Amino acid sequence: MQARGPLMVEHRLIERMLSVIENMLSEIESKQQVDPVLVEVVVDFIKVYADRTHHGKEEDILFREMDKKPLSAEDRKIMNELIDEHVIGRNATKALADANMRYQNGEKAALDEIADNFKTLLEMYPQHIDKEDNNFFPASRSYFTDEEDKKMLEDFWEFDRKLIHEKYESVMAALKK
């Protein structure tokens, strides 16, 4: 398997969550309500899986290694766009969590913010995934030898192996406060 393989597999799971978000957005639009517990599940998924796990491998490993290569102007531009899109996702997820907290506390107007942030994620992620799967990942492969690609794949597995410990170390640190 090439290093881009796990990243593309992760995209499929993110796409499945986007379908859930679409359904939740439809519920907001039709019933003017949403289950805040499900919103919390979406926030956790985006923070932990899409951002820390998936974007973490991209930013901490793939993009780091790409920075060491003489990238074409177009590939550098796309990589920078992808990083900017990760920030958009982070900001929308933070705003989603904040709006959901206010919604749980009885602020009905926060429902519009939940819907707006769902829309942001639904607009950003499909084009972002398409850009990676069909443009950036294939182009990035040409910068690496087979050995370098294999090393990145190993680094991805190691990243995943450590992630669960990182998550729960941070949970325990937060609980100590």
Predicted confidence (pLDDT) per residue in 65-102, tens digit: 999 999 999 999 999 999 999 999 999 999 999 999 99
Residue 150 has pLDDT above 90, yes or no: yes
Q: Is 135 within a domain?
A: yes
CA distance 19 to 38: 13
What CATH number should be reported for the domain holding residue 101? 1.20.120.520
Cβ-based burial of 39 (10 A; exposed 0-12, middle 13-18, buried ≥19): buried
Is 70 within a domain?
yes
pLDDT tens digits, one per residue of 22-45: 999 999 999 999 999 999 999 999
Report, as an integer, the average pLDDT of 131-139: 97
User: Residue 16 is part of which domain span?
Assistant: 4-172
**Residue 40 counted as domain residue:** yes
177 within domain boundaries? no
Does 35 map to a domain?
yes
Structural domain count, the chain? 1
Indicate whether 39 belongs to any domain.
yes
